[in-house]
Structure 1
């Protein structure tokens, strides 16, 4: 039987998909995707992702979250509690719909989050969303740019047990701390652009690896829109790095995804 993939982290409400969302979803299904776990970055996406998931209830699995980097007319900036506040009622309103809380996390990119005060505020935004996830017994879909070690330490400190570290680029030693805590790690097609992550991927056990595309970003080529059916690209790359067959990686990654995202597993099997 052909592999059936779970894309553990994509953005189907991104502007790049506004013109052809349904065509992308239909083709993704035909190309062997079993489910798309679609995250949000800000409250403006919440209603749309819920509406889309209601039209594709056995395929598009929604997550709600406020990303650590927000945007306004002046450009990107580090998230504050003011960005999170209007979203809080939505987590409660849509709690039966979502399969995870995300995309949430930490982003300590120096030019985006230059001060200790901004980093502390980001951590408060993250903590509040982790508390929501724990209260609702949901996993978290986590961003950790320039903050791999800090993010994993914070998740552990907050008692988080179910987490996906998406597009993880931290040190292998930090990742292995996450593995010990039971966390999962996923990698998008962009991982093939250099061999920077090969050492990291070699050290993370296959039992802790999932697959993602981060569509429409992080495709195999810069400046090109990424799509969910590119999920075979990181699958093949991980297989080559680990000396495994692509079938072994796809089966393990799907099994891991369904173990972590239990509501996805339930919706696919009901």
Structure 2
């Protein structure tokens, strides 16, 4: 069985079909991550509809900082706390200094990020991190907080920070990009299977093919190839990693 630990379920126009395909391919759970205040509300509704299969992780993505006011930040924290008993994580949160080019927004990004980290501490929930282009700063900021656990999604570098992440006990989720990305393959080589998970980041496209939860099977196959382990062993370990990390109560 598989768990897709990072999926933007609200962005699929045909999510019912996505769920059907996921179920046919052995996916037992999907972690639905939010990006902004609006998607937080949508994901809450979707996860309620697919209770026991889709699990909500609410947070403010750094890309949403330009459309997040101080009032919206307050509303987001309140929404998170009001739904705390149903949440499995805070995310997708972090910093982005790669796709977000307006440097004047970086302090506001950090303000939002720190508020999300404080909220995760208050609720004793793990965090799902977006680190693109701001990896060193994020690792430094994390030292100021104590989230229950840390999952870094789709990490591609710098390579020297991987060892620091390993020492700190951070988890890393692997996308279908592992089938072609040398950076992702390097990460898989470095990190023990006990700290890896699978994610689609759907509906992001990989080689012009839409990512979906069903792709977790492909990811496990490639990880097994890189590690020299059996697919069955990798599937079992990564599944247990996700269930333990998110404390999932599955309908299986």
- The normalised TM-score by structure 1 is 0.86
Distance between the aligned counterparts of 1:26 and 1:201, measured in 2? Answer: 29
Determine which of 76, 84, 104 is the counterpart of 2:73.
84
Distance between the aligned counterparts of 2:179 and 2:15, measured in 1? Answer: 26
Question: What is the SS of the residue equivalent to 2:250?
Answer: helix
Instruction: Summarize deviations over 1:136-169 as a string: whole Å, max 9, x none.
Output: 1111111111122322222233223401100011
- The CA deviation at 1:120 is 2.3
- The CA deviation at 1:131 is 0.7
- 1:7 partnered with 2:4: yes
Instruction: Summarize deviations over 1:173-226 as a string: whole Å, max 9, x none.
Output: 21221222221001110232332322222111111111111111143x23x321
Determine which of 62, 85, 90 is the counterpart of 1:96.
85
Instruction: Summarize deviations over 1:108-132 as a string: whole Å, max 9, x none.
Output: 11x62442x4322211111100111
2:44 counterpart residue number:
50
Q: Cα gap change, 1:148/1:249 in structure 2, threshold over 3 Å: closer, same or farther?
A: farther
- 1:242 partnered with 2:236: no
- The CA deviation at 1:26 is 2.4
Question: What is the SS of the residue equivalent to 1:89?
Answer: helix
- Structure 1's consecutive aligned runs of 4 or more residues displaced over 4 angstroms after TM superposition are 77-83
1:268 counterpart residue number:
250
- 1:112 partnered with 2:106: no
Distance between the aligned counterparts of 2:136 and 2:222, measured in 1? Answer: 24
Distance between the aligned counterparts of 1:256 and 1:183, measured in 2? Answer: 12
Determine which of 37, 42, 52 is the counterpart of 2:31.
37
- The CA deviation at 1:68 is 0.2
Query: Per residue, is there more helix in 1 or in 2?
Result: 2
Q: Which stretch shows the higher mean deviation, 246-255 or 30-39? A: 246-255
1:74 counterpart residue number:
none
Q: How many residues matched?
A: 252
- 1:231 partnered with 2:216: yes
Are 1:156 and 1:181, in contact at CA under 8 Å, matched by a contact in 2?
no
Determine which of 11, 20, 28 is the counterpart of 1:26.
20
Distance between the aligned counterparts of 1:78 and 1:114, measured in 2? Answer: 13
- 1:215 partnered with 2:202: yes
Question: What is the SS of the residue equivalent to 2:39?
Answer: helix
- The CA deviation at 1:244 is 1.5
Instruction: Summarize deviations over 1:35-60 as a string: whole Å, max 9, x none.
Output: 00010101111222112111211100
- 1:122 partnered with 2:109: yes
Question: What is the SS of the residue equivalent to 2:94?
Answer: strand
